[in-house]
Amino acid sequence: MTNETFARKRLVECCHLLYDRNLTVSAGGNMSVRLNENEILITPSGVNKGMINEDDLVKMDMQGNVISGGKPSIEHKFHLGIFRENPETNAIIHCHPLYCLAVLTRNEPLKSTLTPEGVLLLDQVPTCRYATPGSDELVEAVMEYANAPAMLMAKHGAITQGRTLEEAYNRMEELEFQAHLQILSGDAEELPMDEIIKLRGMR
């Protein structure tokens, strides 16, 4: 169980950091943390992540009912789905990072094996099919890769999850770094498979 006051403070700090690092812009994206087996905190709909405060956050139960706060993000359903699927996951971050979107709009798979850190933090990064934001179809698309530490969303953005908010944040930052590196490095060779296997064993 996570102290709610502390969780609100940390989630708001994370939102501000994501905004300051250009990993999300304006009201885009949504972030959540698990409070206990049946409750989460999630960012509200339509609030700029650089200006969000602790009272803006919405508390929900795992059935999708609002317990306190205003209107939750329209994409709260895939957050709930991932939390239900992965009991060890305690934080989820969804952003629209520029370089991830550049890779997506070029219809390229993300190369997460250009550096050791990419393998250690992300491993293979799947891309789920496009569906309208907030739709049940998007939830279905995301849930096909619900166990992935990080995924891309065609024409849309990225999702990372973690046992802690810091782990989920680190994965988002690393995901955008790898996308930027891929664009800058062109056809650079990925790590040898024997090294990738060795790194996977270190996770």
CA 107, distance to chain mean position in Å, is 20
Q: List alpha helices for 1-75, DSSP H.
A: 4-20
In sequence order, which ranges of 21-128 are alpha helices (DSSP H)? 76-85, 98-105, 116-121
Would you give the end-to-end CA distance of the chain in angstroms? 25
Q: What is the pLDDT of residues 132-141, one digit of tens each?
A: 999 999 999 9
The Cα–Cα gap between 176 and 181 comes to 9
- Tens digits of per-residue pLDDT, 17-75? 999 999 999 889 999 999 999 999 999 999 999 999 999 999 999 999 999 888 999 99
- Decide if 151 contacts 125 (C-beta within 8 A): yes
19 in helix, strand or coil? helix
d(CA 104, CA 127): 8
Report the amino acid identity of residue 192: P
Domain ranges of the chain: 4-200
pLDDT in tens, 153-185: 999 999 999 999 999 999 999 999 999 999 999
Residue from 28, 148, 20 nearest 81 by CA? 148
**Is the pLDDT assigned to residue 1 strictly greater than 80?**
no
CA distance 53 to 35: 18
pLDDT at 2: 74
Picking from 76, 74, 96, 79, the residue whose alpha carbon sits closest to that of residue 156 is: 96
Q: Which CATH architecture best describes the domain 4-200?
A: 3-Layer(aba) Sandwich (3.40)
- How much is the pLDDT for 123? 86
